[in-house]
Amino acid sequence: MNAYLLLAGKSSPGLLNDAIARLRQHDPTCQVAVIDTPEQRLPRRPECDLYRTRSLGQGGWAEETALLAMMNQAFPGARWIGRLFKPEAIPNLPPHHDRLDAWICPNGYFLRRSFLAAHTSAFSDAGTSTQHLEDGLIDFMTKGEGRIERKPAATPDQDTYLTKRLASSSIPMRARAFCAVATAEVAGEAEILVRTLRRHHGEPLVLVCDETVASRISSLGLPRIEIEPISAALLGRAEELSRRVVRHDPYWKADLIALKFHALRTAIQRHGPSHLLDADIAVNGSLHAGGPWIADLVLSPFYWPDPAAAVPVAHGFFNAGYLLAGNTRVVDRWEEMFATGMGGFYEQKCLDYLGREFVTTWFGHEHNFAKWRWESPSLRPVVSLHHKLRAKGNAPRITEMSEAVRSSDRNTAAPRKIAHVHCVRSWGTHLRSLFRDRIGPSLGLQNLVSWDLDLDREWTEAELLLLAEGKLWGQHPGGCGFVHNHTFGWTERALDAFHANDWFTVALVRDPREVLVSLAAWSLDAVKQGRPCPVWHREGLDNRALASARSIKEAVLVLLNDPIYHLQWVLPPWLGKVRWIRRVGPEAVEELSCEVCGLPEVPQVGFLNESSSPGWKSARLSDAVRKLVNAHPEVLAWDEFLKTNPISGSKNA
């Protein structure tokens, strides 16, 4: 499904409805949102799927990120989101032919904006020559989910473009390999890069390095590290390339900088689109975050703080230690610019010009976080940190960055992929919120909880099998992740698939008597508050028996005797296969947080889904009911199972 965002401007509802009709004529399944402003409110709602009024108080990235987040929430199934800007002067759809913005959003996590331009001649493949420009543009956008053509020629009203022809990119791109350059001076940083990268990525790493670094990295025994020695011939060519480059500071060595081109070109030739990383990068999450990108080149802006945002940056707008290139033509042109001294500041300033020659987009704020942003890395999700092991200073932005890097390095010993088997009324919601809010971000785990992704249901077995192999749509390939499902949503086949793909499975368990009383109290609480009885996890379930219970006793008997509720609490025959099983309690949470996941302390956040349960001992149950519960074969099965697992405290919930 495609989704489109129409910015209303001063257009009338009639023109907007015509635009929506044209979109749906070419793409009947598409979803359309219309946005206006308080200053230019539409007199009536257009015929769209979503209508909102936005404030123009915040400009730039903050505003556009909010718009995209709204689109992702409204249309979570959209594989591509197109943003159509519609000036008043051009009433037809689509907008002015030299202004077309596209948000490439396969999983909808952060803004990717490419400025596209197209002339009638660019649409020979889109349709017949008799088509109107707007029809050709619609075909152009919908075919291939956002295909991109070359920019128009320069005019007196436009900045001139450099002479090289633009590459055409129509296939979503993500890194198939990584590459870096390292020498003895940054051997420690290089080790952190390799260790943290390998935790989150299985793609090859082409490492151009000297003997000191090669020996240190080889001793780690990590897979798919391709060492490219810095030979005398290679160094000689690098020195020749950098001969005309102005030396601004002894800190930056132009000949070693020139080795980046060899590293990136080698990686692309061997593996395809490749991500260049400086040796002092620490990886804290999937570097595919925000992708894939329909572009030839993905650059990382410095994202200077607001007071400095409008000040021209002598060193360039983009950081040259973090970029993704799709083909060697990009590298060749970048190398050519560097060798001629274009831009003035080593290999970095010329990126400002390289972006004019190739279809280019940007990494988001979550990438390449560094102290130059003048903010704490704890303020936003961060997937990579640009650091110095010997950074000096006591400013919070420096000390917190250093701690974040050390944390990323410590995390390499923690499980990469964790799956939670949620036993009902056994602190499962608390555990899920801990991973969502604290443990997951600390370990760089992608949140793959169906409920947090607004699916309002459990993962199906088919989806679990895809998740196990890292193949579900939107899942970062080969990356770290946290999956959650209740016991009745798991199957033995799915659990075996997770273990076969090196997932670490965890579960908290509880005395079945406490579970029955807690589940009964939870259901009664919902009914008293006018909410639906919470045992609703299966469609078509006849829930009248539990919903009509008026006491703990009645509810417990319903749960005990009615087979339709047994999936909620009975012992799954495969539960013993779970790798880490503990009884609920603070000790279990501490062990999982600190010993298993390597956190320095137990997080102090996490929602506890409490009920008014009095507990098994205090519940108003007759001796006859207690005997029935104690003699029930499923309760006896749980008793036998719990004898074989460590005990870690208890608490009513």
| 651 domain residue, yes or no | no
Cα separation, 528 vs 15, in Å, equals 50
Residues 6+ apart with CB under 8 A from 188: 389
pLDDT of residue 131: 41
Are 212 and 109 members of one domain? no
Are 92 and 196 members of one domain? no
Are 304 and 203 members of one domain? yes
Q: Starting at the earlier edge strand, list the strands of the sheet with 205-209.
A: 225-229, 205-209, 177-182, 274-277, 318-325, 297-301, 360-362
Are 214 and 81 members of one domain? no
| 241 domain residue, yes or no | yes
Are 256 and 327 members of one domain? yes
Domain count, the chain: 3
Are 230 and 340 members of one domain? yes
Cα separation, 323 vs 294, in Å, equals 14
pLDDT tens digits along 35-65 = 887 777 787 888 888 887 765 444 443 455 4
| 568 domain residue, yes or no | yes
pLDDT of residue 382: 84
Are 206 and 303 members of one domain? yes
Which of 124, 145, 166 delimits the end of a domain?
145
| Closest by CA position to 566, among listed 625, 519, 500 | 519
Can you give the CATH number for the domain in which 324 is found?
3.90.550.10
Cα separation, 557 vs 546, in Å, equals 9
- Which tokens belong to 611? 């009920």
Residues 6+ apart with CB under 8 A from 178: 197, 201, 203, 204, 205, 206, 267, 274, 275, 276, 277, 287
Q: State whether residue 339 is helix, strand or coil.
A: helix
Peptide bond into 305 cis (omega under 30): no
Are 423 and 563 members of one domain? yes
| Closest by CA position to 408, among listed 197, 177, 184, 109 | 197
Are 215 and 359 members of one domain? yes
Are 356 and 494 members of one domain? no
| 186 domain residue, yes or no | yes
176 touches 201 (CB < 8 A): no
Q: Is the dihedral angle over the CA atoms 83, 86, 91, 96 positive or is it negative?
A: negative
Are 33 and 100 members of one domain? yes
- Which tokens belong to 268? 């692309």
Rg (CA), the chain: 29
Cα separation, 118 vs 404, in Å, equals 44
| 398 domain residue, yes or no | no
pLDDT of residue 390: 63
Are 427 and 573 members of one domain? yes
- Which tokens belong to 437? 């809010």
| Closest by CA position to 46, among listed 74, 75, 72, 8 | 8
Residues 6+ apart with CB under 8 A from 392: 398
- Residue numbers of the chain with a pLDDT score lower than 50: 56-62, 65, 85-138, 140-170, 308-312, 648-653
| 197 domain residue, yes or no | yes
| 564 domain residue, yes or no | yes
| 152 domain residue, yes or no | no
Query: Which range marks the domain in which residue 32 is found?
Result: 2-145
Tell me the sheet residues that pair with 386: 281
